[in-house]
Amino acid sequence: MVSIQSRYTVFPSESTPNEKLYSLCEQIKLRTHAPLLYVFKPHPHHDASNFVNTLRHSLSQALTIYYPIAGRLSWIQGGRWELHCNAKGAQVLEAICKDVNLDDLGDFVPTHLVSQLIPSIDYDVPIEDTPLLVVQLTRFPCGGVTIGVALCRGTIDGIATMRFMNTWAKLARRENVERTPCHDRNVLSSYKTHSVLHDHSEFHPPPPWLGPLGKDTKVVVAIVKLTREQVKKLKHKGNHDSTNTTSPSPGPGSQPYSTFEVISGHLWRCVSKARYSGKREQPTRLSTLVNCRGRMRPPLPENYTGNTAFPTVTPTCSFGEIMHRPLSYAVGNVRVALERMTGEFVESALDHIAREKDMNMVRYNFHYPAPTVHKGPYKGNPNLFVVSWMNFSFKDADFGWGEPLYFGPGYMDSEGKAFLMNEAKGGGIIVAISLEASHMDAFKKYFYGDIEEESLISKL
Protein backbone atom coordinates (compact mmCIF):
# COMPACT_ATOMS: atom_id res chain seq x y z
CA MET A 1 0.00 0.00 0.00
CA VAL A 2 2.97 2.32 0.59
CA SER A 3 4.84 3.21 -2.58
CA ILE A 4 8.37 4.66 -2.51
CA GLN A 5 8.55 7.54 -5.01
CA SER A 6 12.14 8.72 -4.60
CA ARG A 7 15.30 8.00 -2.66
CA TYR A 8 18.22 10.36 -2.14
CA THR A 9 20.99 11.40 0.24
CA VAL A 10 20.94 14.55 2.36
CA PHE A 11 24.34 15.89 3.36
CA PRO A 12 25.28 18.39 6.09
CA SER A 13 24.70 21.94 4.88
CA GLU A 14 28.23 22.98 5.92
CA SER A 15 31.61 21.29 6.32
CA THR A 16 31.92 19.22 9.51
CA PRO A 17 34.83 17.72 11.50
CA ASN A 18 36.31 14.62 9.88
CA GLU A 19 37.08 12.61 13.01
CA LYS A 20 36.70 9.11 14.41
CA LEU A 21 34.78 8.52 17.62
CA TYR A 22 34.96 5.48 19.88
CA SER A 23 32.78 4.70 22.90
CA LEU A 24 32.82 1.63 25.15
CA CYS A 25 29.07 1.85 25.78
CA GLU A 26 28.30 1.81 22.07
CA GLN A 27 30.17 -1.49 21.65
CA ILE A 28 27.38 -3.41 23.40
CA LYS A 29 24.68 -2.04 21.11
CA LEU A 30 23.32 -3.51 17.89
CA ARG A 31 24.10 -2.13 14.46
CA THR A 32 20.36 -2.19 13.82
CA HIS A 33 18.17 0.90 13.72
CA ALA A 34 15.56 2.02 16.24
CA PRO A 35 12.25 2.64 14.42
CA LEU A 36 10.44 5.86 15.40
CA LEU A 37 7.13 6.97 13.93
CA TYR A 38 5.79 10.52 14.03
CA VAL A 39 2.26 11.10 12.70
CA PHE A 40 0.96 14.55 11.69
CA LYS A 41 -2.66 15.23 10.84
CA PRO A 42 -3.52 17.45 7.84
CA HIS A 43 -2.74 21.12 8.30
CA PRO A 44 -5.35 23.59 7.00
CA HIS A 45 -2.78 26.20 5.95
CA HIS A 46 0.12 24.11 4.65
CA ASP A 47 0.64 21.84 1.67
CA ALA A 48 2.23 18.41 2.22
CA SER A 49 4.63 18.87 -0.73
CA ASN A 50 6.02 22.10 0.70
CA PHE A 51 6.24 20.42 4.10
CA VAL A 52 8.44 17.68 2.66
CA ASN A 53 10.73 20.25 1.04
CA THR A 54 11.03 22.05 4.37
CA LEU A 55 11.93 18.79 6.13
CA ARG A 56 14.64 18.02 3.60
CA HIS A 57 16.28 21.45 3.87
CA SER A 58 16.15 21.59 7.68
CA LEU A 59 17.52 18.03 7.95
CA SER A 60 20.62 19.20 6.09
CA GLN A 61 21.06 21.93 8.71
CA ALA A 62 20.45 19.52 11.59
CA LEU A 63 23.11 17.15 10.25
CA THR A 64 25.64 19.96 10.46
CA ILE A 65 24.95 20.28 14.20
CA TYR A 66 24.63 16.52 14.81
CA TYR A 67 27.32 15.62 12.30
CA PRO A 68 28.19 12.14 13.68
CA ILE A 69 24.75 10.92 12.50
CA ALA A 70 25.84 11.76 8.95
CA GLY A 71 28.84 9.43 9.30
CA ARG A 72 29.29 5.67 9.12
CA LEU A 73 30.40 2.85 11.40
CA SER A 74 33.51 0.85 10.55
CA TRP A 75 34.82 -2.38 12.06
CA ILE A 76 38.01 -2.38 14.10
CA GLN A 77 39.84 -5.11 15.99
CA GLY A 78 37.91 -7.48 18.29
CA GLY A 79 34.50 -7.19 16.64
CA ARG A 80 34.25 -3.57 17.75
CA TRP A 81 33.42 -0.49 15.75
CA GLU A 82 34.20 3.18 15.63
CA LEU A 83 32.17 6.03 14.23
CA HIS A 84 33.78 7.79 11.30
CA CYS A 85 32.39 11.32 10.89
CA ASN A 86 32.88 11.34 7.13
CA ALA A 87 29.73 13.32 6.19
CA LYS A 88 28.37 10.60 3.89
CA GLY A 89 24.93 11.83 4.79
CA ALA A 90 21.51 10.49 5.71
CA GLN A 91 19.20 8.69 3.33
CA VAL A 92 15.72 10.07 2.70
CA LEU A 93 12.81 8.23 1.11
CA GLU A 94 9.68 9.97 -0.14
CA ALA A 95 6.59 7.80 -0.31
CA ILE A 96 2.84 7.96 -0.79
CA CYS A 97 0.02 5.86 0.62
CA LYS A 98 -2.85 5.94 -1.89
CA ASP A 99 -5.48 3.65 -0.42
CA VAL A 100 -5.45 4.39 3.31
CA ASN A 101 -5.92 7.51 5.41
CA LEU A 102 -4.52 8.18 8.87
CA ASP A 103 -7.90 7.48 10.48
CA ASP A 104 -7.76 3.94 9.06
CA LEU A 105 -4.62 3.17 11.08
CA GLY A 106 -6.43 3.26 14.44
CA ASP A 107 -3.99 3.11 17.36
CA PHE A 108 -0.96 2.77 15.03
CA VAL A 109 -0.15 -0.75 16.27
CA PRO A 110 3.36 -1.31 14.86
CA THR A 111 2.53 -4.13 12.46
CA HIS A 112 1.52 -4.59 8.81
CA LEU A 113 0.88 -1.23 7.14
CA VAL A 114 2.33 0.83 9.99
CA SER A 115 5.66 -0.95 9.63
CA GLN A 116 5.74 0.15 5.98
CA LEU A 117 5.96 3.74 7.18
CA ILE A 118 9.44 3.01 8.58
CA PRO A 119 12.34 2.73 6.10
CA SER A 120 13.66 -0.77 5.59
CA ILE A 121 17.41 -1.22 6.19
CA ASP A 122 19.53 -3.70 4.24
CA TYR A 123 21.98 -5.25 6.72
CA ASP A 124 23.57 -7.45 4.08
CA VAL A 125 25.60 -4.50 2.80
CA PRO A 126 28.93 -3.68 4.49
CA ILE A 127 28.58 -1.73 7.72
CA GLU A 128 30.69 1.06 6.20
CA ASP A 129 27.96 1.58 3.57
CA THR A 130 24.97 1.53 5.91
CA PRO A 131 23.53 4.98 6.70
CA LEU A 132 23.15 5.69 10.40
CA LEU A 133 20.00 7.71 9.75
CA VAL A 134 17.30 6.83 7.24
CA VAL A 135 14.10 8.87 7.07
CA GLN A 136 10.87 8.06 5.23
CA LEU A 137 8.39 10.86 4.54
CA THR A 138 4.98 9.41 3.63
CA ARG A 139 2.01 11.44 2.38
CA PHE A 140 -1.62 10.31 2.71
CA PRO A 141 -4.69 11.19 0.60
CA CYS A 142 -6.22 13.04 3.57
CA GLY A 143 -3.26 15.43 3.57
CA GLY A 144 -1.59 13.88 6.61
CA VAL A 145 2.10 13.06 6.76
CA THR A 146 4.20 10.57 8.68
CA ILE A 147 7.90 10.75 9.42
CA GLY A 148 9.41 7.32 9.85
CA VAL A 149 12.88 7.47 11.40
CA ALA A 150 15.45 4.68 11.56
CA LEU A 151 18.45 5.66 13.73
CA CYS A 152 21.36 3.32 14.41
CA ARG A 153 21.32 2.01 18.00
CA GLY A 154 25.10 1.73 17.98
CA THR A 155 25.59 5.49 17.84
CA ILE A 156 22.86 7.32 19.74
CA ASP A 157 20.44 6.67 22.60
CA GLY A 158 16.84 7.74 23.14
CA ILE A 159 17.62 10.97 25.00
CA ALA A 160 20.01 12.17 22.30
CA THR A 161 17.57 11.04 19.59
CA MET A 162 14.81 13.21 21.03
CA ARG A 163 17.17 16.18 21.15
CA PHE A 164 18.23 15.63 17.55
CA MET A 165 14.60 15.36 16.39
CA ASN A 166 13.58 18.46 18.31
CA THR A 167 16.55 20.39 16.90
CA TRP A 168 15.52 19.32 13.41
CA ALA A 169 11.96 20.47 14.14
CA LYS A 170 13.13 23.83 15.48
CA LEU A 171 15.18 24.41 12.31
CA ALA A 172 12.14 23.50 10.21
CA ARG A 173 10.25 26.24 12.08
CA ARG A 174 13.15 28.60 11.21
CA GLU A 175 14.03 29.17 14.84
CA ASN A 176 17.52 29.57 16.25
CA VAL A 177 19.24 26.63 17.92
CA GLU A 178 21.19 27.85 20.91
CA ARG A 179 22.41 24.63 22.51
CA THR A 180 25.59 23.00 21.18
CA PRO A 181 25.65 19.20 21.57
CA CYS A 182 28.68 17.40 23.03
CA HIS A 183 29.97 14.74 20.63
CA ASP A 184 33.21 13.86 22.46
CA ARG A 185 32.95 10.12 23.23
CA ASN A 186 36.06 10.31 25.42
CA VAL A 187 33.94 12.05 28.03
CA LEU A 188 32.26 8.74 28.91
CA SER A 189 35.22 6.42 28.36
CA SER A 190 37.31 8.52 30.77
CA TYR A 191 35.29 7.07 33.70
CA LYS A 192 36.89 3.65 33.19
CA THR A 193 38.73 2.70 36.41
CA HIS A 194 40.81 -0.28 35.23
CA SER A 195 39.11 -2.52 37.79
CA VAL A 196 35.98 -4.64 37.45
CA LEU A 197 34.30 -4.18 40.84
CA HIS A 198 30.95 -5.91 40.28
CA ASP A 199 29.42 -9.05 38.84
CA HIS A 200 27.89 -7.98 35.54
CA SER A 201 25.07 -10.43 35.12
CA GLU A 202 23.52 -8.18 32.48
CA PHE A 203 26.14 -9.52 30.07
CA HIS A 204 25.58 -13.17 31.02
CA PRO A 205 23.34 -15.47 28.92
CA PRO A 206 19.63 -14.97 29.74
CA PRO A 207 17.62 -17.79 31.35
CA PRO A 208 16.62 -20.32 28.65
CA TRP A 209 13.11 -21.60 27.95
CA LEU A 210 12.74 -25.03 29.56
CA GLY A 211 9.42 -26.27 28.20
CA PRO A 212 8.13 -27.13 24.73
CA LEU A 213 7.40 -24.28 22.34
CA GLY A 214 3.83 -23.09 21.90
CA LYS A 215 1.68 -24.02 18.94
CA ASP A 216 2.07 -20.61 17.33
CA THR A 217 5.46 -18.98 17.86
CA LYS A 218 4.76 -16.22 15.38
CA VAL A 219 5.45 -12.83 17.00
CA VAL A 220 2.43 -10.52 17.24
CA VAL A 221 2.23 -6.99 18.58
CA ALA A 222 -0.48 -5.31 20.62
CA ILE A 223 -1.01 -1.91 22.18
CA VAL A 224 -2.65 -1.87 25.61
CA LYS A 225 -3.55 1.28 27.52
CA LEU A 226 -3.74 2.21 31.15
CA THR A 227 -5.85 5.13 32.28
CA ARG A 228 -4.61 7.50 34.94
CA GLU A 229 -6.93 5.74 37.42
CA GLN A 230 -5.59 2.29 36.54
CA VAL A 231 -2.01 3.50 36.99
CA LYS A 232 -3.00 4.90 40.36
CA LYS A 233 -4.53 1.55 41.39
CA LEU A 234 -1.38 -0.35 40.39
CA LYS A 235 0.90 2.06 42.23
CA HIS A 236 -1.24 1.82 45.36
CA LYS A 237 -1.12 -1.97 45.26
CA GLY A 238 2.62 -2.13 44.58
CA ASN A 239 3.45 0.31 47.35
CA HIS A 240 1.10 -0.92 50.07
CA ASP A 241 1.08 -4.70 49.73
CA SER A 242 2.30 -6.19 53.01
CA THR A 243 0.65 -9.61 52.83
CA ASN A 244 3.95 -11.36 52.21
CA THR A 245 7.11 -10.53 54.14
CA THR A 246 9.28 -12.01 51.36
CA SER A 247 8.09 -9.26 49.04
CA PRO A 248 10.72 -6.48 48.73
CA SER A 249 8.31 -3.57 49.35
CA PRO A 250 9.80 -0.13 50.00
CA GLY A 251 11.09 0.10 53.53
CA PRO A 252 10.54 2.98 55.96
CA GLY A 253 11.97 6.17 54.49
CA SER A 254 12.30 4.68 50.99
CA GLN A 255 10.89 6.40 47.95
CA PRO A 256 7.57 4.92 46.78
CA TYR A 257 7.81 2.73 43.72
CA SER A 258 7.70 4.77 40.51
CA THR A 259 5.23 4.42 37.66
CA PHE A 260 7.88 2.67 35.57
CA GLU A 261 8.76 0.21 38.32
CA VAL A 262 5.14 -0.70 39.03
CA ILE A 263 4.04 -1.08 35.41
CA SER A 264 7.16 -3.07 34.54
CA GLY A 265 6.51 -5.42 37.46
CA HIS A 266 2.87 -5.77 36.44
CA LEU A 267 3.90 -6.57 32.85
CA TRP A 268 6.41 -9.16 34.07
CA ARG A 269 3.75 -10.94 36.16
CA CYS A 270 1.16 -10.92 33.36
CA VAL A 271 3.60 -12.15 30.71
CA SER A 272 4.80 -14.93 33.03
CA LYS A 273 1.22 -16.02 33.67
CA ALA A 274 0.45 -15.99 29.94
CA ARG A 275 3.52 -18.07 29.13
CA TYR A 276 3.06 -20.48 32.03
CA SER A 277 2.85 -24.09 30.89
CA GLY A 278 3.01 -25.94 34.21
CA LYS A 279 6.68 -25.29 35.01
CA ARG A 280 6.73 -23.23 38.20
CA GLU A 281 10.52 -23.49 38.31
CA GLN A 282 10.97 -21.82 34.89
CA PRO A 283 13.64 -19.11 35.44
CA THR A 284 12.93 -15.60 34.20
CA ARG A 285 14.41 -12.11 34.39
CA LEU A 286 13.46 -8.60 33.31
CA SER A 287 15.90 -6.38 31.43
CA THR A 288 15.84 -2.66 30.83
CA LEU A 289 18.07 0.27 29.88
CA VAL A 290 19.08 3.16 32.12
CA ASN A 291 20.17 6.63 31.04
CA CYS A 292 23.37 7.11 33.07
CA ARG A 293 24.17 10.75 32.27
CA GLY A 294 23.14 11.91 35.74
CA ARG A 295 24.38 8.81 37.58
CA MET A 296 28.07 9.39 36.90
CA ARG A 297 30.20 11.33 39.38
CA PRO A 298 30.66 14.00 38.23
CA PRO A 299 27.61 13.80 35.93
CA LEU A 300 28.08 13.63 32.19
CA PRO A 301 27.30 16.84 30.30
CA GLU A 302 23.54 17.06 29.87
CA ASN A 303 24.03 17.69 26.14
CA TYR A 304 26.16 14.55 25.60
CA THR A 305 24.95 12.93 22.37
CA GLY A 306 26.55 9.50 22.56
CA ASN A 307 24.81 6.39 23.83
CA THR A 308 24.64 6.23 27.64
CA ALA A 309 21.78 3.70 27.87
CA PHE A 310 23.39 0.95 29.95
CA PRO A 311 21.64 -2.41 30.38
CA THR A 312 20.56 -3.77 33.73
CA VAL A 313 18.70 -6.93 34.74
CA THR A 314 16.68 -8.07 37.71
CA PRO A 315 17.73 -11.02 39.85
CA THR A 316 16.63 -14.25 38.15
CA CYS A 317 13.33 -15.47 39.60
CA SER A 318 10.98 -18.34 38.81
CA PHE A 319 7.57 -18.23 37.20
CA GLY A 320 6.15 -19.52 40.48
CA GLU A 321 7.66 -16.66 42.48
CA ILE A 322 6.57 -13.99 40.01
CA MET A 323 3.05 -15.39 39.61
CA HIS A 324 2.12 -16.27 43.17
CA ARG A 325 3.85 -13.65 45.28
CA PRO A 326 2.38 -10.14 45.55
CA LEU A 327 2.84 -7.55 42.83
CA SER A 328 5.38 -5.82 45.04
CA TYR A 329 7.70 -8.84 44.68
CA ALA A 330 8.11 -8.30 40.93
CA VAL A 331 8.17 -4.52 41.35
CA GLY A 332 10.80 -4.74 44.07
CA ASN A 333 13.05 -6.77 41.82
CA VAL A 334 12.71 -4.12 39.12
CA ARG A 335 13.88 -1.55 41.67
CA VAL A 336 16.88 -3.76 42.54
CA ALA A 337 17.89 -3.65 38.86
CA LEU A 338 17.61 0.14 38.72
CA GLU A 339 19.27 0.91 42.04
CA ARG A 340 22.40 -1.06 41.16
CA MET A 341 23.10 1.46 38.37
CA THR A 342 25.28 3.80 40.39
CA GLY A 343 28.16 5.73 38.89
CA GLU A 344 30.57 3.18 40.38
CA PHE A 345 28.63 0.30 38.82
CA VAL A 346 28.71 1.97 35.38
CA GLU A 347 32.46 2.55 35.72
CA SER A 348 32.86 -1.16 36.49
CA ALA A 349 30.69 -1.98 33.45
CA LEU A 350 32.97 0.13 31.25
CA ASP A 351 35.96 -1.86 32.50
CA HIS A 352 34.10 -5.11 31.88
CA ILE A 353 33.32 -4.07 28.30
CA ALA A 354 36.93 -3.02 27.72
CA ARG A 355 38.14 -6.48 28.79
CA GLU A 356 35.63 -8.46 26.71
CA LYS A 357 37.16 -10.31 23.78
CA ASP A 358 33.95 -11.29 21.96
CA MET A 359 31.64 -8.28 21.62
CA ASN A 360 29.27 -10.24 19.39
CA MET A 361 28.54 -12.63 22.26
CA VAL A 362 27.91 -9.72 24.63
CA ARG A 363 25.43 -8.23 22.18
CA TYR A 364 23.83 -11.64 21.64
CA ASN A 365 23.36 -12.34 25.34
CA PHE A 366 21.57 -9.12 26.17
CA HIS A 367 19.50 -8.68 23.03
CA TYR A 368 18.35 -12.28 22.49
CA PRO A 369 15.92 -13.09 20.88
CA ALA A 370 16.26 -10.14 18.48
CA PRO A 371 16.13 -11.60 14.93
CA THR A 372 19.35 -9.87 13.89
CA VAL A 373 21.46 -11.47 16.63
CA HIS A 374 20.08 -14.84 17.72
CA LYS A 375 21.78 -17.88 16.29
CA GLY A 376 19.72 -20.71 14.86
CA PRO A 377 15.96 -21.26 15.23
CA TYR A 378 13.88 -19.54 17.88
CA LYS A 379 14.05 -21.56 21.11
CA GLY A 380 11.47 -19.78 23.25
CA ASN A 381 11.83 -16.86 25.64
CA PRO A 382 10.84 -16.70 29.33
CA ASN A 383 12.19 -13.16 29.80
CA LEU A 384 10.95 -9.60 29.28
CA PHE A 385 12.77 -6.53 27.96
CA VAL A 386 11.08 -3.24 28.91
CA VAL A 387 12.09 0.08 27.36
CA SER A 388 10.85 3.38 28.76
CA TRP A 389 9.92 6.16 26.36
CA MET A 390 8.02 7.84 29.17
CA ASN A 391 8.69 11.56 29.51
CA PHE A 392 10.30 11.75 26.08
CA SER A 393 9.77 15.25 24.72
CA PHE A 394 8.19 14.07 21.47
CA LYS A 395 5.61 16.87 21.53
CA ASP A 396 8.44 19.32 20.81
CA ALA A 397 8.86 17.68 17.39
CA ASP A 398 6.72 20.37 15.77
CA PHE A 399 8.02 20.84 12.24
CA GLY A 400 5.55 23.65 11.57
CA TRP A 401 2.46 21.44 11.45
CA GLY A 402 1.79 21.37 15.16
CA GLU A 403 2.75 18.64 17.63
CA PRO A 404 2.54 15.01 16.46
CA LEU A 405 -0.82 13.28 16.56
CA TYR A 406 1.05 10.12 17.55
CA PHE A 407 4.58 9.05 18.46
CA GLY A 408 5.76 5.48 19.02
CA PRO A 409 7.74 2.50 17.68
CA GLY A 410 7.23 1.88 13.99
CA TYR A 411 7.61 -1.88 14.22
CA MET A 412 8.52 -4.59 16.73
CA ASP A 413 9.90 -7.95 15.64
CA SER A 414 11.61 -9.15 18.83
CA GLU A 415 9.54 -11.43 21.09
CA GLY A 416 9.20 -10.36 24.71
CA LYS A 417 9.82 -6.63 24.28
CA ALA A 418 7.66 -3.78 25.59
CA PHE A 419 7.74 0.00 25.20
CA LEU A 420 6.15 2.27 27.81
CA MET A 421 4.95 5.66 26.56
CA ASN A 422 2.93 8.53 27.95
CA GLU A 423 -0.54 8.92 26.54
CA ALA A 424 -0.82 12.20 24.64
CA LYS A 425 -3.84 13.28 26.68
CA GLY A 426 -5.30 12.09 29.94
CA GLY A 427 -2.19 11.16 31.90
CA GLY A 428 -2.34 7.44 31.16
CA ILE A 429 0.31 5.04 29.85
CA ILE A 430 0.48 3.26 26.50
CA VAL A 431 2.25 -0.10 26.28
CA ALA A 432 3.35 -1.63 22.98
CA ILE A 433 4.32 -5.28 23.51
CA SER A 434 5.38 -8.19 21.31
CA LEU A 435 4.74 -11.83 22.29
CA GLU A 436 4.17 -15.21 20.75
CA ALA A 437 0.72 -15.26 19.16
CA SER A 438 -0.37 -18.16 21.39
CA HIS A 439 0.26 -16.03 24.51
CA MET A 440 -1.22 -12.67 23.56
CA ASP A 441 -4.89 -13.25 24.44
CA ALA A 442 -3.98 -14.61 27.87
CA PHE A 443 -1.65 -11.68 28.46
CA LYS A 444 -4.41 -9.15 27.75
CA LYS A 445 -6.78 -10.98 30.09
CA TYR A 446 -4.29 -10.83 32.96
CA PHE A 447 -3.14 -7.30 32.13
CA TYR A 448 -6.58 -5.82 32.76
CA GLY A 449 -8.07 -8.51 35.00
CA ASP A 450 -5.29 -8.37 37.59
CA ILE A 451 -5.71 -4.61 38.00
CA GLU A 452 -9.38 -4.96 38.89
CA GLU A 453 -8.72 -8.00 41.07
CA GLU A 454 -6.00 -6.19 43.01
CA SER A 455 -8.23 -3.13 43.30
CA LEU A 456 -11.01 -5.23 44.85
CA ILE A 457 -8.61 -6.91 47.28
CA SER A 458 -7.28 -3.53 48.45
CA LYS A 459 -10.85 -2.46 49.36
CA LEU A 460 -11.52 -5.53 51.53
pLDDT at position 454 is 54
Question: CA dihedral defined by 299, 301, 307, 312, rounded to 10 degrees?
Answer: 20
Number of Cα atoms under 13 Å in the Cβ half of residue 71:
24
Domains in the chain with CATH codes: 2-189 (3.30.559.10), 201-459 (3.30.559.10)
Q: Are 286 and 386 in contact (CB under 8 A)?
A: yes
Average the pLDDT over 362-374 and give the result.
76
Residue 96's beta-bridge partner residues? Answer: 3, 139
147-188 pLDDT tens trace: 999 999 999 999 999 999 999 999 999 999 987 999 999 999
268-315 pLDDT tens trace: 999 999 999 899 999 999 999 999 999 999 999 989 999 999 999 999
CA distance 121 to 93: 12
22-54 pLDDT tens trace: 999 999 999 999 999 999 998 887 787 888 899
Q: Where are the alpha helices (DSSP H) in 94-227?
A: 158-172, 186-189
CA distance 225 to 420: 10
